[in-house]
A and B are shown apart, each in its own frame.
Chain A
Amino acid sequence: MPLMTEPTTDARVDPAPSPVPAPAPRTHAVGPVPGARAIEVARRSDEPVQDAGVGVEIEHLDAYYGNRRVLRDITLTVHPNSVTAIIGPSGCGKSTLIRCLNRMHEVTPGARVAGEVRLDGDDIYAPGVDPVVVRQRIGMVFQRPNPFPTMSIYDNVVAGLKLAGIRDRSLLDEVAERSLRRAALWDEVRDKLSAPGGALSGGQQQRLCIARAIAVEPEVVLMDEPASALDPMSTLKIEELIAALRASYTIVIVTHNMQQAARVSDRTAFLTVGDDRSGFLVEEGPTAQIFTNPRRQLTEDYISGRFG
């Protein structure tokens, strides 16, 4: 719980002190609590929630595909309401790492994890924890936009809410509009909410996926190279969006693109591949420090383009 109150030190966070009162404490609990799938969407305003993200502590995490270890002993703290970028050469396990944070890694047959990942203090790998509940609290945006192509834009956005059993039409309407606005897509789709999600352009589809992920108001949003399949203009929009979302969510973004990491993140973690072909964490720190004054030679070499 101490992470909940730790103030973010980055100067780029919205400087205006928010007049919005702190949100009511959430009642989420990790674990098979009866009724835990119901998501609270109590607020009815367009104001983003401040400081609603929570921290994630990764401790001694190993990840395997079958017998092959792809991540070795990762210990990393993700600070609440910050953007943490994960960078590193191809094959270092960046994507695997964030897929371990919402228990998507284990969906692959033969994949497993050892170690702890604590979301707001609770180990998401503890026995009895329902991965479905974990994934509701930790949203994810993938490398390739993956809207449900036959579903309407509107239904795409509220898909997570409908899964949680929310049927109140006025609430769904409101969440759909708010999420699309926050994903900077509302003005482009407001007149065609019933058009299929597959009919949008690639960049719009990715923003639709972001709207879908934030509609359920997760505490953490994971982004796996969210702009790597997009053109520069769409990439710019996604990056602006990440900056705006930081106020309300904890964001972890995997990126190939070091300039992107430098532009959007508060903190950066650098992973690389060891001689045993498994990825490990070289160092983590404030983005400015990692890019200007890294502590480790490996980081320096990667940042300056000597390998990777």
Chain B
Amino acid sequence: MTAQVGAVRAELGRHRPRFGEPAFRGLVVLASLTVLAIIAGLVVVIATTSMAGIAHNGIGFLWGTTWDPVHSVFGALPFIYGTLLTSITALILSMLIGVGVALFLVELAPSWLAGPLGFMIEMLAAIPSVVYGLWGIFVLAPWLRDYVEVPLHDTLGWLPFFSGYPIGIGNLAAVVVLTIMVLPTVAAVSRDVVSAVPGSQREAALALGATRWETIRMGVLPYARSGILGAGILGLARGVGETMAVTMVIGNSPTISLSFLAQGYTMASVIANEFTEATTNLYRSSLIEIGLLLLVVTLVINAAARLLVWRVAYTASSRSLAA
């Protein structure tokens, strides 16, 4: 026995990898640096190419309402407004549906239904944006016009939200398409957050005599609250950056209107639509300035989401330490 132990010890000293360790380290460091370089390069290029626009437009770019490239008047407010109006409204709608779907999948649905349904919701995210846009133009917009916008206009037209002409294409169509596109993100992340709620929380509520809904309200939702908020912010980031489908259905008119029946424009849409026409340096630079603005908005939203998710993870780990 002792001879064998000695033999293994001798072998152990011999076969240490000498080359693999630094090679592996080099590879992963290189991979990480590549990502950093891409981000840095992107920011530098966007910042420098938008300099001409920033110098010409000044800070008034943020609240200027006129977009007139022919006379070199560039105001970005209609695009900022259109982006925030459509994506925030879509977010609210998709949160309502998405959290409901998540609770159904985790808390109520039998497993033979939860699996396929969850998969189908994730499939929604796999449909290309331009296909949503086509569907929006040829199916959704006419349907919305005939069955939603006309009745809304006839009954509630005196409200600023439903004034104007019901033509189908416009803010409402953009909101509906965006809601469907944001929904998979919100539903899938919320589902993961809700299923991460420990069973002991549900048992705690059940043992006190809670019904199914009371168990969700008392044991599940408070625990999942910040995670669900994080899901919403990830969805918002997706909605803000969405380009193709929105461009196809929003009407592309740089106007600021409270009405869901009116046509609008978003930051992403104006870039996609006008970059080919941007013949002057200033015009192009102003478009890139909008891109810079979009980047900043998306970065802020993503950072907020990270912070929330981190907070959830942190409180969860401190809880398990305490227990």
Q: Given A109-B111, A163-B218, A202-B322, check contact A146 B200 (CB 8 Å).
A: yes
A160 close to B208 (CB less than 8 A): yes
CA distance A198 to B314 in the complex (A): 13
CA distance A210 to B87 in the complex (A): 47
A216 close to B208 (CB less than 8 A): yes
Tell whether A140 is near chain B: CB-to-CB under 8 Å: yes
Tell whether B293 is near chain A: CB-to-CB under 8 Å: no
Tell whether B124 is near chain A: CB-to-CB under 8 Å: no
Q: Least Cβ distance of A134 to chain B in Å?
A: 8
A229 close to B323 (CB less than 8 A): yes
Segment touching B, from A7-15, A148-156, A246-254, A255-263: A148-156
Chain B residues 186-222 with CB under 8 Å of chain A are 198, 200-211, 214, 218-219, 222
CA distance A216 to B207 in the complex (A): 11
Q: Which of B208, B209, B323 contacts A205 (CB 8 A)?
A: B323
Q: Least Cβ distance of A245 to chain B in Å?
A: 16
Name which of B205, B209, B319, B322 has the most chain A CB atoms within 10 A of its CB: B209
Chain A residues 112-147 with CB under 8 Å of chain B are 132-133, 135-136, 139-140, 142, 144-147
Task: Give the tally of cross-chain contacts (CB within 8 A).
Answer: 81
Chain A residues 217-251 with CB under 8 Å of chain B are 229
Q: Which of B111, B211, B225, B323 contacts A144 (CB 8 A)?
A: B323
Tell whether A176 is near chain B: CB-to-CB under 8 Å: no
Tell whether B265 is near chain A: CB-to-CB under 8 Å: no
Q: Which residues of B sit under 8 angstroms from A198, Cβ to Cβ? A: 315, 318-319, 322
Tell whether B61 is near chain A: CB-to-CB under 8 Å: no
Q: What is the interface size of chain A, counting residues whose CB is below 8 A from a CB of the partner?
A: 35
Tell whether B223 is near chain A: CB-to-CB under 8 Å: yes
A132 close to B111 (CB less than 8 A): no
Q: Which of B201, B209, B223, B323 contacts A135 (CB 8 A)?
A: B209
Q: Which residues of B sit under 8 angstroms from A104, Cβ to Cβ? A: 203, 206-207
Q: Which of A37, A109, A132, A201 contacts B322 (CB 8 A)?
A: A201
Q: Which residues of B sit under 8 angstroms from A148, Cβ to Cβ? A: 201, 204-205, 218-219, 222-223
The chain A residue sitting closest to B202, CB to CB, is A107
Q: Which residues of B sit under 8 angstroms from A212, Cβ to Cβ? A: 204, 208
The chain B residue sitting closest to A147, CB to CB, is B204
Tell whether A281 is near chain B: CB-to-CB under 8 Å: no
Tell whether A213 is near chain B: CB-to-CB under 8 Å: yes
Interface size band for B? 20 to 34
A150 close to B225 (CB less than 8 A): yes
Q: Which residues of A sit under 8 angstroms from B318, Cβ to Cβ? A: 198
Q: Given A151-B222, A198-B322, check contact A159 B208 (CB 8 Å).
A: yes
CA distance A140 to B225 in the complex (A): 26
Q: Given A148-B219, A150-B222, check contact A133 B200 (CB 8 Å).
A: no
Q: Least Cβ distance of A274 to chain B in Å?
A: 28
Q: Least Cβ distance of B117 to chain A in Å?
A: 17
A146 close to B222 (CB less than 8 A): no
CA distance A222 to B202 in the complex (A): 17
Tell whether A200 is near chain B: CB-to-CB under 8 Å: yes
Tell whether A195 is near chain B: CB-to-CB under 8 Å: no
Q: Given A104-B203, A144-B200, A146-B201, check contact A135 B208 (CB 8 Å).
A: yes
Chain A residues 153-211 with CB under 8 Å of chain B are 159-160, 163-164, 198-202, 205, 209
CA distance A135 to B210 in the complex (A): 8
Q: Which residues of A sit under 8 angstroms from B219, Cβ to Cβ? A: 148
Q: Given A149-B223, A150-B225, check contact A135 B206 (CB 8 Å).
A: yes
Q: Given A149-B319, A151-B222, A205-B322, check contact A213 B209 (CB 8 Å).
A: no
Q: Which of B198, B201, B203, B225 contacts A107 (CB 8 A)?
A: B203
Name which of B201, B208, B225 has the most chain A CB atoms within 10 A of its CB: B208
Given contacts A200-B322, A202-B323, A216-B208, 13 further A-B contacts (CB under 8 A): A104-B203, A132-B211, A139-B208, A142-B200, A142-B203, A142-B204, A142-B207, A144-B200, A146-B198, A150-B225, A159-B205, A198-B322, A209-B204
Give the top 7 A-B pairs by smallest Cβ distance, nearest first: A136-B209, A140-B207, A160-B208, A146-B200, A146-B204, A150-B222, A135-B209
Question: What are 27 A-B contacts defined by CB distance under 8 Å?
Answer: A107-B203, A132-B209, A132-B210, A135-B208, A135-B209, A136-B208, A139-B207, A139-B208, A140-B207, A142-B200, A142-B207, A146-B203, A146-B204, A147-B204, A148-B201, A148-B204, A148-B205, A148-B219, A149-B223, A159-B218, A160-B209, A163-B208, A163-B210, A198-B315, A198-B318, A205-B322, A212-B204
